[in-house]
Structure 1
Amino acid sequence: MSETKRHHHFIGGEHVAPSSGEYFPSINPATRGVLYEAARGGAEDIDRAVRAARAAFEDPAWRDLSQTKRGHLLRRLGDLIGENAEELARMESSDNGKLLREMRGQLAGLPEYYYYYAGLADKIQGSTIPTSDRRVLNYTTREPLGVVGAITPWNSPLTLTTSKLAPALSVGNTVVIKPSEYTSATVLRLAELVLEAGFPPGAVNVVTGFGAEAGQALADHRDIAKISFTGSTATGARIAANTASRFIGSTLELGGKSPNIVFEDANVANAAMGVVAGIFAAAGQTCIAGSRVFAHRSVYDELLERVTERARTIKIGDPLDEATELGPLAFEDQRDKVAGYVDLGRSEGAKVLTGGNATDAGLGGFFYEPTVLVDVDNDMRVVREEIFGPVAAIMPFETEEEVLRLANDTEYGLAAGVWTSNLSRAHRVADRLEAGTIWINTYRAMSPMSPRQGFKNSGVGIEHGTETIKEYTRLKSVWVNTSEDPVADPFVLRS
């Protein structure tokens, strides 16, 4: 362990050792080997990072920078991410087990998020408001909140950090990031690129560590103006209560149990590939996973055969190998959680049609086979609770009304898929599904330009698109008396 690389916090533009002097290991989920050690942060480290962010926010070098020049910095950051894409992709693949080829695809598109918000930076405008008195001018402005706290997960560290960082910086905030303890390295590298792009020291700070220590301290800090969190619904509920009690905002992207619906008139071959992509891509470790599959009874057998056959042939192995199609789960507890849910499904009466076993893929890591469950119903825990792994529950339905009832019978509302050749039905079903993102004849399509919001227990607030700007600004109304007449005595009645 003495030869293992150590990562410090990144605070005020510098690498800073943890106040406790403690570090913790990051484990390669494919091999169980130690990748590096990260600083174990706590309240003292968070306070130092927030003070650095506050100083940067109040510094004229950042505060008085024009909106257009902020956009230039974001564009330069996007360029640097593109230039370092291979390094970042390999780091993230080793850290959380995602396929290298998938990470290359994500990194190829990631600069576009920064370019989008770079272009938006000087398009953020207020408005003038007509008043009953022509001598009084009323106008609004949008201004930054201050220091934003971002708490990000392990399944897509760079992408989900970017969803918060790019809009927050574009409007002039500064940021303190607490990445997942399982995936610290790429977020720390991103902070270095932020500095290289020309942002002032302290504009972006990273404190690594555990949620109960560093994450809680960040959420509790008195100088944080907003918390943006992606993670579990239970943690999001605690953050929502915390921020509400202090009258500050929160954006929360939480869990999901998304339905993927295949109607009788769908192209079944295409729908089967959509189901496979929706649940087995990223080993099912995504909040938008299409884990509940509903197939019309007339196409149920065909869809089931196609999905099961593809699941059986998915190549499990080293995520850095170009031939691998399914990598490991991100850490041992997550693999055990997935295995526990499949065992629970069996005890509830579900049948495992394929998969259903943990494996080390000959590498010693935390792998789990692509799994298809049948003989399930919407009341089983394995169907109602988020598993966050490569486990699909496939159920038949008879009518449109029935499947809408089943699809909406969930505490979550993040995403949904619809497969049909009937244009009228597509729009009709999309209108009635209780989810923030609806995909029709596709699944997992995303863009920085398209807003994303969770319904019900899947969260509050908006990420992506122009709408997210409101999440990171506050509205100010300014009234100006343009008349040079003497101000009237308020206690003298006027006719």
Structure 2
Amino acid sequence: MRTLQALSGGEWVASGDWIDVLDPADVRAPIARVPALAAKDVTRAYDHAERGFAAWKRTSPFERARILTDAARLIRERAEEIAADVTAENGKTITEATGETLKAADFLEYYAGYARQGYGTLLHDVRPNHRTHTQREPIGVILVISPWNDPLITPARKLAPLLAAGNAAVFKPATETPMAGLHFARALHDAGLPAGVLNVVTGRTAEIEEALLDDPRIAGITFTGSNAVGNRIRRRLADRNVRFQGELGGKNASVVLRDADLPAAAKAVVAASFGQAGQRCTATSRVIVDQPVYAEFTRLLVAEVEALRAGPGSDPETTLCPLSSPKHRDSVLADLRRAVEAGATVLTGGRDDTERPHGCFVGPTVLGEVTPEMAIWREEVFGPVLALRAVTGFDAAVEAVNDSDFGLAAAVFTRDLVSAYRFADEAECGQVAVNTTTTGWDVHLPFGGFRDSGTGYKEQGEEVLRFSTRVKTVAVHLGAAEPARG
């Protein structure tokens, strides 16, 4: 079992207490341990971040770009080792973990480019002999809280832009999956990131929550996770001038219209639903099928699902990885039991994997006879569970998509461009896909949801810089105008 350390003030630190990291494919023995830091250690990390920000905001943007670019190179060089740790602590397949690792490097490279770009706009001024412009500045120390489901790409998505803009960070990785975030921090540290600019706090959230969230030096908090936790953070910040960026839950829908290419739609829906065992915020969990093709699409879908191969993520043959923890596995199974009790029909799956009793496996599940009143249709499950419902026609399908508290992602499968563009206009969500899986990974595409799926600040692309920068307007009087010359 490996022993890892946290990062604070440019030094790797530990404490007297430890947290075990488990492999969800077999939870019998820990694979690593990380420090369970105390509240005083968190406060010390903010001390370092405050000093780090004072220096980093004055650092040349070209130097910032160099450090981010060098960190990206190190991640690519270490990709095999990093991906193996992502698989070991999270469970996702080695293919998924490798893709996540390389995408993390993409984020660093992309925002290194942004560090070099212009950071303001020249504006017209109504007054003669004035020059007025805006300039963007970093906001300060930002708390980054990332989830267990994408333990490397989410920190990259959050940290790369805020560091490129000149902010400092205190980063709290998920307790279950801290190794990936520590790899990301080590690459930046080894690339020459100054001490205190990035500080990684590992620990039990319940023991350090007050120190994490209530420090007066926090300028912003970016969080990815459940609505319950996100809303609790939002309430805690209600009377403070602290920005909050939340990427929260989803109950994403795919629509299959009667003119769709049904075999292609079935393959795409399975990829969107069961990648990472459904443990993605953009995963499709509801499928709305036009009544005339419901039976045929369901037959094709079930066949695709039953071809999935469950197993450890480290096995190259695995196409369905385990869930993240025994607790989460049990939660998904409980959701399935409640769905059946409410009247849903199990078309395939619906149980745990008795062949792997020491792992967190749930068979890929498709449910039929689902109604809009059922919890399985309305509430996020975050597992390999897909609920089907038949409707008649385009309008009914869009109404079913929008009948949700969430609004992260939706897709439509159709051969008709008019229907495709109407769907893009009428779906109440932040990400729309046509004849493909839901979007979310490309670094330059703005990412985030509507309604209860997120807040006003997007992630990725140029949009994310609105969260971690503030705008200053500067007017300069150039002096009296020279007299006209004859």
TM-score (norm 1): 0.94
Equivalent residues in 2 for 1:261-280, closer than 5 Å: 261-280=255-274
Residues 314-393 of structure 1 correspond to what in structure 2 (within 5 A)?
314-362=308-356, 364-393=358-387
Q: Residue deviations 1:293-326, cap 9 Å, x none?
A: 0111121111111111122221111110000111
Q: What letter corresponds to residue 405 of structure 1 in structure 2?
A: E
Q: For residues 433 and 207 of structure 2, what CA distance do their matches in structure 1 show?
A: 38
Which residues in structure 2 correspond to 1:297-308 (within 5 Å)?
Answer: 297-308=291-302
Which amino acid is 1:10 matched to? L
Matched, 1:400 2:382: no
Which amino acid is 1:131 matched to? D
- Answering whether residue 404 of structure 2 is matched by residue 410 of structure 1, we say yes
* 1:448 aligns to 2:449 (yes or no): no
CA deviation after TM superposition for structure 1 residue 210, in Å: 2.5
1:48 counterpart residue number: 44
Which one-letter code corresponds to 1:479 in the other structure?
Answer: A
Q: Deviations over 1:392-441 (max 9, x none)?
A: 00111101111111110000000001111101110101110000000111
Q: 1:195 aligns with which of 186, 189, 199?
A: 189
**How far apart are the structure 2 equivalents of 1:166 and 1:246?**
25
Matches of 1:360 and 1:176 in 2, distance apart? Answer: 41
Deviations 1:370-408 (A, max 9, x none): 000000011100110000000000111101111111110
Displacement of 1:480: 2.9
What's the offset of the Cα at 1:254?
0.4
Q: Tell me, what secondary structure is at the counterpart of 1:453?
A: coil
The answer as to whether partners of 2:103 and 2:153 remain within 8 angstroms in 1 is no
Q: Within 5 A, what are the aligned runs for 1:17-96?
A: 17-18=14-15, 21-32=16-27, 33-59=29-55, 62-96=56-90
**The 10-residue stretch of structure 1 (356-365 or 462-471) with the greater mean CA deviation from structure 2:** 356-365
2:124 — aligned with what?
Answer: 130
**Residues 178 and 214 in structure 1, CA contact (< 8 A), matched pair in contact too:** no
What secondary structure is seen at the aligned counterpart in 2 of 1:157? coil
CA distance in 2 between partners of 1:176 and 1:163 (Å): 15
Residue aligning to 2:484: none
Residue matched to 2:477: 481
State the alpha-carbon separation in 1 of the partners of residues 288 and 64 from structure 2: 47
**Structure-1 residue corresponding to 2:2:** 5
| Residue 144 of structure 2 is aligned to residue 144 of structure 1 | no
Superposed CA deviations along residues 50-92 of structure 1, whole A, max 9, x for unmatched, are: 1111111112xx3332212211211111111111111110001
Tell me which moved more, 134-143 or 421-430: 134-143
Give the superposition deviation at 1:484: 6.3
Partner SS for 2:96: helix
Q: Secondary structure at the match of 2:166?
A: coil
1:215, CA displacement in angstroms? 4.3
What do the CA deviations read for 1:336-385 (whole angstroms, capped 9, x no partner)? Answer: 11000000001100011111101254361110000000000111001100
Secondary structure at the counterpart of residue 426 of structure 1 = helix
Question: Does residue 15 of the first structure (1) align with residue 44 of the second (2)?
Answer: no
Amino acid in the other structure paired with 2:69: R
Runs of at least 5 residues in structure 2 that lack an aligned partner in the other structure: 482-486
Contact 1:30 1:365 in 2 (8 A): yes
Alignment of 1:157 onto 2:154: no
Q: Report the CA distance between 1:278 and its aligned residue.
A: 1.3
1:246 and 2:272 equivalent?
no
The aligned counterpart of 1:214 is 208
User: How far is 1:6 from its partner?
Assistant: 2.4
2 CA distance for matches of 1:91 and 1:70? 27
How many corresponding residue pairs? 478
Give the letter aligned to residue 283 of structure 1.
Answer: A
Q: What one-letter code is carried by the residue in structure 2 that aligns with 1:30?
A: A
| Aligned amino acid, residue 399 of structure 1 | G
Equivalent AA in structure 1 for residue 373 of structure 2: D
Matched residues, percent identical? 37
* 2:198 matches 1:204: yes
Aligned partner of residue 463 in structure 2, secondary structure:
helix
Among 278, 283, 288, the residue aligned to 1:289: 283
What is the rounded CA distance, in whole Å, between the counterparts of 1:444 and 1:418 in structure 2? 10
Q: Which moved more, 1:87-96 or 1:215-224?
A: 215-224
Per-residue CA deviation, residues 151-194 of structure 1 (Å, 9 max, x unaligned), is 00000110011110110011111111100000011111221111
CA pair 96-241 structure 1, distance change in 2 beyond 3 A: same
Change (3 A) 1:58 1:87: same
The match for 1:102 is 96
Residues 331, 412 of structure 1: CA spacing in aligned structure 2 closer, same or farther, 3 A cutoff? Answer: same
Q: For residue 391 of structure 1, what is the amino acid of its counterpart?
A: V
Deviates more, 1:30-39 or 1:239-248: 239-248
Return 430-439 or 30-39, whichever deviates more. Answer: 30-39
1:216–1:322 CA distance, 2 compared to 1 (3 A)? farther
Structure 2 CA distance for aligned equivalents of residues 414 and 327 of structure 1: 24
Report the counterpart of residue 173 of structure 2 in structure 1: 179
CA distance in 2, matches of 1:248, 1:362: 46
SS for the counterpart of 2:324 is: coil
Residue 471 in structure 1 maps to residue 433 in structure 2: no
